Structure 1
Protein backbone atom coordinates (compact mmCIF):
# COMPACT_ATOMS: atom_id res chain seq x y z
CA UNK A 1 0.00 0.00 0.00
CA UNK A 2 1.84 3.10 -1.25
CA UNK A 3 0.45 6.32 0.20
CA UNK A 4 1.35 9.94 -0.48
CA UNK A 5 0.79 12.40 2.39
CA UNK A 6 0.88 16.21 2.32
CA UNK A 7 0.00 19.24 4.43
CA UNK A 8 0.27 22.96 3.64
CA UNK A 9 -1.81 24.44 6.47
CA UNK A 10 1.18 25.92 8.30
CA UNK A 11 4.22 27.88 7.21
CA UNK A 12 6.00 24.55 6.69
CA UNK A 13 5.16 22.45 3.64
CA UNK A 14 5.32 18.77 4.60
CA UNK A 15 5.00 15.69 2.41
CA UNK A 16 5.89 12.03 2.62
CA UNK A 17 5.58 8.78 0.68
CA UNK A 18 5.37 5.46 2.46
CA UNK A 19 3.88 2.03 2.83
CA UNK A 20 2.30 0.34 5.83
CA UNK A 21 2.51 3.55 7.84
CA UNK A 22 6.28 3.79 7.40
CA UNK A 23 7.83 6.65 5.45
CA UNK A 24 10.11 5.84 2.54
CA UNK A 25 10.84 9.48 1.72
CA UNK A 26 9.70 12.71 3.33
CA UNK A 27 10.30 16.45 3.18
CA UNK A 28 9.58 19.52 5.31
CA UNK A 29 10.32 22.99 3.96
CA UNK A 30 9.52 26.25 5.71
CA UNK A 31 8.12 28.42 2.92
CA UNK A 32 5.61 30.93 4.35
CA UNK A 33 4.36 31.95 0.91
CA UNK A 34 5.82 29.33 -1.40
CA UNK A 35 3.48 26.37 -1.05
CA UNK A 36 1.81 26.86 -4.42
CA UNK A 37 5.20 26.96 -6.12
CA UNK A 38 6.86 24.04 -4.33
CA UNK A 39 4.15 21.51 -3.47
CA UNK A 40 3.93 19.68 -6.78
CA UNK A 41 7.70 19.64 -7.45
CA UNK A 42 8.22 18.31 -3.92
CA UNK A 43 5.68 15.54 -4.50
CA UNK A 44 7.37 14.60 -7.78
CA UNK A 45 10.78 14.46 -6.12
CA UNK A 46 9.51 12.27 -3.28
CA UNK A 47 7.89 9.83 -5.70
CA UNK A 48 11.14 9.58 -7.63
CA UNK A 49 13.12 9.09 -4.41
CA UNK A 50 10.73 6.29 -3.44
CA UNK A 51 10.96 4.70 -6.89
CA UNK A 52 7.23 5.08 -7.46
CA UNK A 53 5.03 6.48 -10.18
CA UNK A 54 1.71 8.19 -9.39
CA UNK A 55 -0.14 5.19 -10.84
CA UNK A 56 1.39 2.97 -8.13
CA UNK A 57 -0.17 4.97 -5.29
CA UNK A 58 -3.03 3.29 -3.45
CA UNK A 59 -4.08 6.29 -1.38
CA UNK A 60 -3.55 9.98 -0.68
CA UNK A 61 -3.53 11.44 2.84
CA UNK A 62 -3.95 15.17 3.41
CA UNK A 63 -3.93 17.50 6.39
CA UNK A 64 -7.11 19.55 6.16
CA UNK A 65 -6.20 22.30 8.61
CA UNK A 66 -6.95 24.48 10.42
CA UNK A 67 -4.22 26.95 9.62
CA UNK A 68 -3.52 29.38 6.82
CA UNK A 69 -6.68 30.03 4.79
CA UNK A 70 -4.79 30.07 1.50
CA UNK A 71 -2.17 27.51 2.47
CA UNK A 72 -4.51 24.72 3.55
CA UNK A 73 -6.32 24.83 0.21
CA UNK A 74 -3.12 24.01 -1.69
CA UNK A 75 -2.72 20.51 -0.28
CA UNK A 76 -6.45 19.79 -0.11
CA UNK A 77 -7.11 20.73 -3.74
CA UNK A 78 -4.00 18.88 -4.95
CA UNK A 79 -4.86 15.76 -2.95
CA UNK A 80 -8.46 15.76 -4.18
CA UNK A 81 -7.40 16.17 -7.81
CA UNK A 82 -4.86 13.35 -7.56
CA UNK A 83 -7.23 10.98 -5.74
CA UNK A 84 -10.02 11.53 -8.27
CA UNK A 85 -7.70 11.24 -11.27
CA UNK A 86 -5.99 8.09 -9.97
CA UNK A 87 -9.21 6.56 -8.65
CA UNK A 88 -7.83 5.96 -5.16
CA UNK A 89 -9.12 6.77 -1.65
CA UNK A 90 -8.47 10.11 0.04
CA UNK A 91 -7.60 10.08 3.75
CA UNK A 92 -8.16 13.30 5.69
CA UNK A 93 -6.52 14.15 9.01
CA UNK A 94 -6.61 17.27 11.16
CA UNK A 95 -3.34 19.19 10.91
CA UNK A 96 -3.46 19.53 14.70
CA UNK A 97 -3.68 15.75 15.16
CA UNK A 98 -0.71 15.36 12.81
CA UNK A 99 1.22 17.79 15.02
CA UNK A 100 0.30 15.76 18.10
CA UNK A 101 1.36 12.48 16.48
CA UNK A 102 4.62 14.03 15.31
CA UNK A 103 5.36 15.29 18.83
CA UNK A 104 5.19 11.78 20.33
CA UNK A 105 6.62 9.41 17.69
CA UNK A 106 7.56 6.84 20.32
CA UNK A 107 5.21 5.54 22.98
CA UNK A 108 5.92 5.33 26.68
CA UNK A 109 4.00 3.34 29.27
CA UNK A 110 2.13 6.25 30.83
CA UNK A 111 -0.68 8.45 29.49
CA UNK A 112 0.22 11.41 27.31
CA UNK A 113 -1.74 14.58 26.64
CA UNK A 114 -0.92 16.92 23.77
CA UNK A 115 -2.27 20.37 22.99
CA UNK A 116 -1.24 21.61 19.51
CA UNK A 117 -1.82 25.32 18.82
CA UNK A 118 -1.48 27.44 15.69
CA UNK A 119 -1.62 31.23 15.75
CA UNK A 120 -4.93 32.51 14.34
CA UNK A 121 -4.29 36.28 14.58
CA UNK A 122 -6.10 38.73 16.86
CA UNK A 123 -4.63 37.07 19.97
CA UNK A 124 -6.35 33.79 19.08
CA UNK A 125 -5.15 30.26 18.38
CA UNK A 126 -6.48 27.25 16.54
CA UNK A 127 -6.21 24.41 18.99
CA UNK A 128 -7.29 21.00 20.18
CA UNK A 129 -6.33 18.58 22.94
CA UNK A 130 -5.63 14.89 22.48
CA UNK A 131 -4.98 12.06 24.91
CA UNK A 132 -2.99 8.89 24.37
CA UNK A 133 -3.86 6.36 27.07
CA UNK A 134 -0.68 4.31 27.02
CA UNK A 135 1.80 2.42 24.94
CA UNK A 136 -0.68 1.32 22.30
CA UNK A 137 0.08 3.11 19.05
CA UNK A 138 -2.45 5.27 17.28
CA UNK A 139 -5.04 5.32 20.03
CA UNK A 140 -5.54 9.10 20.15
CA UNK A 141 -8.71 10.27 21.85
CA UNK A 142 -10.11 13.77 21.28
CA UNK A 143 -10.22 15.60 24.60
CA UNK A 144 -11.03 19.04 23.14
CA UNK A 145 -12.17 19.23 19.49
CA UNK A 146 -10.63 21.61 16.98
CA UNK A 147 -11.72 25.19 17.62
CA UNK A 148 -10.42 28.77 17.75
CA UNK A 149 -10.19 30.53 21.12
CA UNK A 150 -8.25 33.43 22.67
CA UNK A 151 -4.73 32.28 23.45
CA UNK A 152 -5.12 33.17 27.13
CA UNK A 153 -8.21 30.95 27.32
CA UNK A 154 -6.25 27.98 26.00
CA UNK A 155 -3.55 28.61 28.61
CA UNK A 156 -6.08 28.86 31.44
CA UNK A 157 -7.80 25.65 30.35
CA UNK A 158 -4.48 23.83 30.05
CA UNK A 159 -3.29 24.93 33.49
CA UNK A 160 -6.56 24.00 35.13
CA UNK A 161 -7.05 20.65 33.42
CA UNK A 162 -7.19 17.40 35.35
CA UNK A 163 -4.66 17.25 38.22
CA UNK A 164 -2.39 20.10 37.23
CA UNK A 165 1.22 19.40 36.36
CA UNK A 166 2.35 15.86 35.81
CA UNK A 167 5.64 16.12 37.61
CA UNK A 168 7.65 15.47 34.45
CA UNK A 169 11.02 17.20 34.14
CA UNK A 170 11.38 17.59 30.39
CA UNK A 171 10.70 21.27 29.78
CA UNK A 172 12.42 22.00 26.49
CA UNK A 173 11.88 23.64 23.13
CA UNK A 174 14.09 21.25 21.21
CA UNK A 175 13.57 17.49 21.07
CA UNK A 176 12.04 15.02 23.48
CA UNK A 177 13.56 14.05 26.80
CA UNK A 178 13.58 10.36 27.68
CA UNK A 179 12.74 11.03 31.35
CA UNK A 180 9.35 12.44 30.26
CA UNK A 181 8.14 8.98 29.28
CA UNK A 182 6.67 6.71 31.87
CA UNK A 183 5.59 9.57 34.19
CA UNK A 184 1.87 10.04 34.82
CA UNK A 185 -0.04 12.39 32.58
CA UNK A 186 2.88 13.85 30.64
CA UNK A 187 1.72 17.03 28.95
CA UNK A 188 3.08 18.11 25.58
CA UNK A 189 2.57 21.54 24.07
CA UNK A 190 3.21 22.09 20.36
CA UNK A 191 2.89 25.62 18.98
CA UNK A 192 4.06 28.12 16.37
CA UNK A 193 4.18 31.14 18.68
CA UNK A 194 7.96 31.48 18.28
CA UNK A 195 7.31 32.76 14.76
CA UNK A 196 5.40 35.74 16.24
CA UNK A 197 7.70 38.16 18.12
CA UNK A 198 4.71 39.74 19.85
CA UNK A 199 3.92 36.37 21.46
CA UNK A 200 7.33 35.80 23.05
CA UNK A 201 5.98 36.32 26.56
CA UNK A 202 3.00 34.06 25.86
CA UNK A 203 5.28 31.33 24.52
CA UNK A 204 7.35 31.56 27.70
CA UNK A 205 4.25 31.13 29.86
CA UNK A 206 3.21 28.10 27.84
CA UNK A 207 6.61 26.49 28.21
CA UNK A 208 6.34 26.87 31.98
CA UNK A 209 2.93 25.15 31.98
CA UNK A 210 3.93 22.08 29.96
CA UNK A 211 6.21 19.13 30.63
CA UNK A 212 7.47 19.10 27.07
CA UNK A 213 7.17 22.28 24.98
CA UNK A 214 7.90 22.02 21.27
CA UNK A 215 7.87 24.67 18.59
CA UNK A 216 6.32 23.83 15.24
CA UNK A 217 9.80 23.67 13.71
CA UNK A 218 10.68 20.88 16.15
CA UNK A 219 7.93 18.58 14.87
CA UNK A 220 7.51 19.70 11.25
CA UNK A 221 9.89 17.10 9.85
CA UNK A 222 7.82 14.38 11.49
CA UNK A 223 4.42 15.55 10.29
CA UNK A 224 4.57 13.82 6.91
CA UNK A 225 5.42 10.44 8.47
CA UNK A 226 2.79 11.15 11.16
CA UNK A 227 0.11 11.54 8.49
CA UNK A 228 1.12 8.18 7.04
CA UNK A 229 0.88 6.49 10.45
CA UNK A 230 -2.52 8.04 11.17
CA UNK A 231 -3.89 6.95 7.80
CA UNK A 232 -2.54 3.43 8.20
CA UNK A 233 -3.74 3.21 11.79
CA UNK A 234 -7.36 3.99 11.05
CA UNK A 235 -7.36 7.51 12.51
CA UNK A 236 -8.19 9.27 9.26
CA UNK A 237 -11.56 9.90 7.64
CA UNK A 238 -11.64 8.01 4.34
CA UNK A 239 -13.37 9.23 1.18
CA UNK A 240 -13.68 7.37 -2.12
CA UNK A 241 -15.24 7.93 -5.51
CA UNK A 242 -17.64 10.87 -5.80
CA UNK A 243 -17.48 11.44 -2.03
CA UNK A 244 -14.02 12.93 -2.51
CA UNK A 245 -15.61 16.04 -4.02
CA UNK A 246 -17.21 16.78 -0.64
CA UNK A 247 -13.84 17.14 1.12
CA UNK A 248 -13.11 20.72 2.16
CA UNK A 249 -10.55 22.44 4.39
CA UNK A 250 -11.30 22.82 8.08
CA UNK A 251 -10.94 26.58 8.50
CA UNK A 252 -12.31 26.46 12.10
CA UNK A 253 -13.61 30.02 11.66
CA UNK A 254 -15.00 32.14 8.80
CA UNK A 255 -12.64 33.18 6.04
CA UNK A 256 -11.32 36.69 6.78
CA UNK A 257 -12.97 38.23 3.73
CA UNK A 258 -16.31 36.66 4.64
CA UNK A 259 -16.04 37.90 8.23
CA UNK A 260 -15.32 41.47 7.09
CA UNK A 261 -18.19 41.34 4.60
CA UNK A 262 -20.54 40.16 7.36
CA UNK A 263 -19.32 42.95 9.65
CA UNK A 264 -19.97 45.57 6.97
CA UNK A 265 -23.42 44.09 6.40
CA UNK A 266 -24.23 44.29 10.10
CA UNK A 267 -22.97 47.87 10.25
CA UNK A 268 -25.18 48.88 7.32
CA UNK A 269 -28.14 47.15 8.94
CA UNK A 270 -27.59 49.04 12.16
CA UNK A 271 -27.34 52.35 10.30
CA UNK A 272 -30.59 51.59 8.50
CA UNK A 273 -32.30 50.78 11.76
CA UNK A 274 -31.34 54.14 13.27
CA UNK A 275 -32.92 56.11 10.41
Structure 2
Protein backbone atom coordinates (compact mmCIF):
# COMPACT_ATOMS: atom_id res chain seq x y z
CA UNK A 1 0.00 0.00 0.00
CA UNK A 2 1.28 3.44 -0.93
CA UNK A 3 0.10 6.66 0.67
CA UNK A 4 1.20 10.30 0.47
CA UNK A 5 0.74 12.35 3.66
CA UNK A 6 0.61 16.15 3.97
CA UNK A 7 0.73 18.08 7.26
CA UNK A 8 1.04 21.89 7.22
CA UNK A 9 -1.23 23.02 10.07
CA UNK A 10 1.59 24.55 12.12
CA UNK A 11 4.82 26.41 11.39
CA UNK A 12 6.27 23.04 10.37
CA UNK A 13 5.87 21.96 6.76
CA UNK A 14 5.92 18.19 6.48
CA UNK A 15 5.30 15.62 3.75
CA UNK A 16 5.76 11.85 3.98
CA UNK A 17 5.42 8.82 1.77
CA UNK A 18 4.30 5.47 3.19
CA UNK A 19 5.29 2.70 0.81
CA UNK A 20 4.53 -0.83 2.02
CA UNK A 21 5.64 0.02 5.57
CA UNK A 22 8.65 2.13 4.63
CA UNK A 23 8.36 5.83 5.47
CA UNK A 24 10.21 8.73 3.85
CA UNK A 25 9.69 12.26 5.15
CA UNK A 26 10.57 15.87 4.45
CA UNK A 27 10.19 18.16 7.47
CA UNK A 28 11.20 21.75 8.03
CA UNK A 29 10.13 24.55 10.33
CA UNK A 30 9.37 27.01 7.57
CA UNK A 31 6.79 29.68 8.43
CA UNK A 32 5.24 31.27 5.35
CA UNK A 33 7.01 28.83 2.98
CA UNK A 34 4.53 25.95 3.07
CA UNK A 35 2.98 26.76 -0.31
CA UNK A 36 6.44 26.98 -1.85
CA UNK A 37 7.65 23.64 -0.45
CA UNK A 38 4.79 21.20 -0.25
CA UNK A 39 4.28 20.17 -3.89
CA UNK A 40 8.01 19.97 -4.80
CA UNK A 41 8.55 17.84 -1.71
CA UNK A 42 5.72 15.50 -2.72
CA UNK A 43 7.28 15.04 -6.15
CA UNK A 44 10.77 14.59 -4.68
CA UNK A 45 9.66 11.88 -2.25
CA UNK A 46 7.88 9.98 -4.99
CA UNK A 47 10.91 10.22 -7.26
CA UNK A 48 13.29 9.05 -4.51
CA UNK A 49 11.11 6.01 -3.85
CA UNK A 50 10.53 5.27 -7.52
CA UNK A 51 6.78 5.60 -7.02
CA UNK A 52 4.52 7.34 -9.53
CA UNK A 53 1.44 9.29 -8.50
CA UNK A 54 -0.67 6.70 -10.29
CA UNK A 55 0.64 4.04 -7.87
CA UNK A 56 -0.70 5.85 -4.81
CA UNK A 57 -3.66 4.20 -3.09
CA UNK A 58 -4.69 7.22 -1.03
CA UNK A 59 -3.73 10.70 0.14
CA UNK A 60 -3.59 11.53 3.85
CA UNK A 61 -4.03 15.01 5.23
CA UNK A 62 -3.78 16.68 8.62
CA UNK A 63 -7.16 18.45 8.81
CA UNK A 64 -6.20 20.71 11.73
CA UNK A 65 -6.69 22.33 14.11
CA UNK A 66 -3.87 24.76 13.56
CA UNK A 67 -3.09 27.89 11.58
CA UNK A 68 -6.07 28.29 9.27
CA UNK A 69 -3.93 29.16 6.23
CA UNK A 70 -1.85 26.03 6.77
CA UNK A 71 -4.92 23.85 7.28
CA UNK A 72 -6.52 25.23 4.11
CA UNK A 73 -3.32 24.64 2.12
CA UNK A 74 -2.95 21.02 3.21
CA UNK A 75 -6.56 20.21 2.41
CA UNK A 76 -6.48 22.03 -0.93
CA UNK A 77 -3.30 20.25 -2.05
CA UNK A 78 -4.51 16.86 -0.84
CA UNK A 79 -7.89 17.34 -2.53
CA UNK A 80 -6.26 18.38 -5.77
CA UNK A 81 -3.99 15.34 -5.90
CA UNK A 82 -6.72 12.93 -4.79
CA UNK A 83 -9.30 14.26 -7.26
CA UNK A 84 -6.77 14.21 -10.09
CA UNK A 85 -5.95 10.57 -9.40
CA UNK A 86 -9.44 9.44 -8.41
CA UNK A 87 -8.16 8.36 -5.00
CA UNK A 88 -9.75 8.69 -1.54
CA UNK A 89 -8.52 10.87 1.29
CA UNK A 90 -7.69 9.84 4.83
CA UNK A 91 -8.22 12.90 7.04
CA UNK A 92 -6.64 12.83 10.51
CA UNK A 93 -6.65 15.26 13.40
CA UNK A 94 -3.44 17.25 13.63
CA UNK A 95 -3.65 16.86 17.42
CA UNK A 96 -3.82 13.08 17.06
CA UNK A 97 -0.82 13.21 14.74
CA UNK A 98 1.02 15.26 17.35
CA UNK A 99 0.06 12.78 20.10
CA UNK A 100 1.43 9.94 17.97
CA UNK A 101 4.85 11.59 18.21
CA UNK A 102 4.96 11.38 22.00
CA UNK A 103 7.26 8.78 23.51
CA UNK A 104 4.31 6.91 24.99
CA UNK A 105 3.45 3.24 25.30
CA UNK A 106 0.15 1.37 25.28
CA UNK A 107 -2.00 2.47 28.18
CA UNK A 108 -0.24 5.83 28.55
CA UNK A 109 -2.23 9.05 28.43
CA UNK A 110 -1.18 11.94 26.24
CA UNK A 111 -2.27 15.57 26.21
CA UNK A 112 -1.52 17.20 22.85
CA UNK A 113 -1.62 20.99 22.68
CA UNK A 114 -0.81 23.51 19.95
CA UNK A 115 -0.33 27.23 20.53
CA UNK A 116 -3.43 28.86 19.00
CA UNK A 117 -2.25 32.44 19.71
CA UNK A 118 -4.75 34.94 21.14
CA UNK A 119 -3.97 33.52 24.61
CA UNK A 120 -5.49 30.13 23.70
CA UNK A 121 -4.40 26.61 22.80
CA UNK A 122 -5.84 23.83 20.68
CA UNK A 123 -5.89 20.65 22.73
CA UNK A 124 -7.23 17.12 23.12
CA UNK A 125 -6.32 14.15 25.28
CA UNK A 126 -5.63 10.58 24.19
CA UNK A 127 -4.95 7.10 25.49
CA UNK A 128 -2.52 4.95 23.53
CA UNK A 129 -4.13 1.68 22.46
CA UNK A 130 -2.33 -0.73 20.11
CA UNK A 131 0.06 2.10 19.31
CA UNK A 132 -2.73 4.46 18.21
CA UNK A 133 -3.76 7.59 20.16
CA UNK A 134 -7.47 7.18 20.90
CA UNK A 135 -9.28 10.39 21.79
CA UNK A 136 -10.50 10.66 25.39
CA UNK A 137 -11.48 14.32 25.32
CA UNK A 138 -12.62 16.17 22.20
CA UNK A 139 -10.65 18.79 20.32
CA UNK A 140 -11.18 22.28 21.68
CA UNK A 141 -9.66 25.74 21.72
CA UNK A 142 -9.49 27.27 25.18
CA UNK A 143 -7.30 29.36 27.47
CA UNK A 144 -4.55 27.25 29.10
CA UNK A 145 -6.14 27.90 32.50
CA UNK A 146 -9.26 26.01 31.39
CA UNK A 147 -7.42 22.70 30.85
CA UNK A 148 -7.40 20.13 33.64
CA UNK A 149 -6.52 16.44 33.72
CA UNK A 150 -7.16 13.74 36.29
CA UNK A 151 -4.44 11.63 37.81
CA UNK A 152 -0.76 11.57 36.97
CA UNK A 153 1.62 9.79 34.62
CA UNK A 154 0.62 11.96 31.65
CA UNK A 155 2.75 12.73 28.60
CA UNK A 156 2.51 16.28 27.25
CA UNK A 157 3.45 17.27 23.74
CA UNK A 158 3.17 20.38 21.61
CA UNK A 159 3.75 24.10 21.57
CA UNK A 160 0.64 24.70 23.66
CA UNK A 161 2.79 23.85 26.67
CA UNK A 162 5.05 26.82 25.97
CA UNK A 163 2.21 29.24 25.15
CA UNK A 164 1.49 32.13 27.49
CA UNK A 165 4.72 31.94 29.47
CA UNK A 166 4.38 28.12 29.66
CA UNK A 167 1.27 28.44 31.82
CA UNK A 168 -0.05 24.97 30.99
CA UNK A 169 3.26 23.24 31.68
CA UNK A 170 3.80 25.08 34.95
CA UNK A 171 0.32 24.43 36.28
CA UNK A 172 0.11 20.72 35.44
CA UNK A 173 3.76 19.65 35.60
CA UNK A 174 3.28 17.52 38.72
CA UNK A 175 0.88 15.28 36.78
CA UNK A 176 3.20 14.73 33.83
CA UNK A 177 6.12 12.33 33.47
CA UNK A 178 7.33 14.12 30.34
CA UNK A 179 6.56 17.31 28.44
CA UNK A 180 7.95 18.17 25.01
CA UNK A 181 6.88 21.78 24.54
CA UNK A 182 8.79 22.23 21.27
CA UNK A 183 7.26 19.32 19.35
CA UNK A 184 5.38 19.88 16.11
CA UNK A 185 3.33 17.36 14.10
CA UNK A 186 5.18 15.19 11.57
CA UNK A 187 3.76 13.81 8.34
CA UNK A 188 5.63 10.57 9.07
CA UNK A 189 3.36 10.01 12.09
CA UNK A 190 0.38 11.04 9.96
CA UNK A 191 1.31 8.44 7.36
CA UNK A 192 1.48 5.67 9.97
CA UNK A 193 -1.89 6.60 11.46
CA UNK A 194 -3.42 6.96 8.01
CA UNK A 195 -2.12 3.60 6.82
CA UNK A 196 -3.91 1.92 9.73
CA UNK A 197 -7.06 3.96 9.12
CA UNK A 198 -6.98 3.10 5.41
CA UNK A 199 -6.72 -0.60 6.22
CA UNK A 200 -9.87 -0.22 8.36
CA UNK A 201 -11.70 1.46 5.50
CA UNK A 202 -11.72 4.90 7.14
CA UNK A 203 -11.57 6.91 3.95
CA UNK A 204 -13.56 9.84 2.61
CA UNK A 205 -14.29 11.35 -0.78
CA UNK A 206 -11.94 14.33 -1.35
CA UNK A 207 -14.80 16.79 -1.74
CA UNK A 208 -16.21 15.87 1.68
CA UNK A 209 -13.16 16.66 3.80
CA UNK A 210 -13.86 19.35 6.39
CA UNK A 211 -11.13 21.44 8.07
CA UNK A 212 -11.05 21.61 11.87
CA UNK A 213 -10.70 25.33 12.55
CA UNK A 214 -12.46 25.19 15.97
CA UNK A 215 -12.60 28.98 16.11
CA UNK A 216 -15.97 30.29 14.95
CA UNK A 217 -14.49 33.66 14.03
CA UNK A 218 -12.10 32.00 11.55
CA UNK A 219 -14.95 30.08 9.94
CA UNK A 220 -17.01 33.27 9.78
CA UNK A 221 -14.16 35.14 8.15
CA UNK A 222 -13.87 32.46 5.46
CA UNK A 223 -17.61 32.57 4.82
CA UNK A 224 -17.44 36.35 4.56
CA UNK A 225 -14.56 36.11 2.10
CA UNK A 226 -16.49 33.66 -0.06
CA UNK A 227 -19.58 35.88 0.06
CA UNK A 228 -17.48 38.86 -0.96
CA UNK A 229 -16.10 36.96 -3.96
CA UNK A 230 -19.62 35.97 -5.01
CA UNK A 231 -20.82 39.57 -4.73
CA UNK A 232 -17.86 40.75 -6.78
CA UNK A 233 -18.51 38.21 -9.52
CA UNK A 234 -22.23 38.99 -9.70
CA UNK A 235 -21.61 42.73 -10.05
CA UNK A 236 -19.24 42.39 -12.99
TM-score interval for Structure 1 and Structure 2 normalised by the shorter chain: 0.7 to 0.9
Correspondence for 2:109: 113
Is the radius of gyration larger for structure 1 or structure 2? 1
Residue-pair matches, total:
222
Give me the whole-angstrom Cα distance separating, in 2, the residues matched to 1:145 and 1:202. 18
- Give, in angstroms, the shift of residue 228 of structure 1: 1.5
1:115-264 to 2 correspondences below 5 Å: 115-133=111-129, 136-138=130-132, 140-154=133-147, 157-158=148-149, 161=150, 164-166=151-153, 187-193=154-160, 198-217=164-183, 220=185, 223-234=186-197, 237-239=202-204, 243-256=205-218, 258=220
Q: What SS class does the counterpart of residue 252 from structure 1 fall into?
A: coil
Deviations 1:57-105 (A, max 9, x none): 111000000000111111110001100100111100000000111214x
Q: Which runs of 5+ in 1 are unaligned?
A: 167-186, 263-275
Correspondence for 2:232: none
Correspondence for 1:16: 16
Give me the whole-angstrom Cα distance separating, in 1, the residues matched to 2:22 and 2:194. 11
Q: What SS class does the counterpart of residue 193 from structure 2 fall into?
A: helix
Provide TM-score, normalisation by structure 2. Answer: 0.84
Give me the whole-angstrom Cα distance separating, in 1, the residues matched to 2:214 and 2:63. 10
Question: Is residue 14–residue 28 contact of structure 1 (8 Å, CA) maintained in 2?
Answer: yes
- Give, in angstroms, the shift of residue 149 of structure 1: 1.4
- Give, in angstroms, the shift of residue 194 of structure 1: 6.9
Deviations 1:125-166 (A, max 9, x none): 111011124xx233x322101111111111xx12xx1xx223
- Compute the RMSD of aligned alpha carbons: 2.5
Cα distance change, pair 20–146 in 1 and its aligned pair in 2 (3 A): farther
- Give, in angstroms, the shift of residue 236 of structure 1: 8.3
Correspondence for 1:75: 74
Cα distance change, pair 194–131 in 1 and its aligned pair in 2 (3 A): closer
Deviations 1:248-269 (A, max 9, x none): 211011244836x99xxxxxxx
Provide TM-score, normalisation by structure 1. Answer: 0.73
Give me the whole-angstrom Cα distance separating, in 2, the residues matched to 1:195 and 1:66. 17
- Give, in angstroms, the shift of residue 237 of structure 1: 4.0
Question: Is residue 60–residue 91 contact of structure 1 (8 Å, CA) maintained in 2?
Answer: yes
Runs of 4+ that moved beyond 6 A: none
Give me the whole-angstrom Cα distance separating, in 2, the residues matched to 1:103 and 1:148. 20
Give me the whole-angstrom Cα distance separating, in 2, the residues matched to 1:250 and 1:84. 21
Question: Is residue 126–residue 134 contact of structure 2 (8 Å, CA) maintained in 1?
Answer: yes
Q: What SS class does the counterpart of residue 101 from structure 2 fall into?
A: helix
Question: Is residue 122–residue 160 contact of structure 2 (8 Å, CA) maintained in 1?
Answer: no
Q: What SS class does the counterpart of residue 211 from structure 1 fall into?
A: strand
Q: Which runs of 5+ in 2 are unaligned?
A: 225-236
The farther-off stretch of 64-73 and 203-212 is 203-212
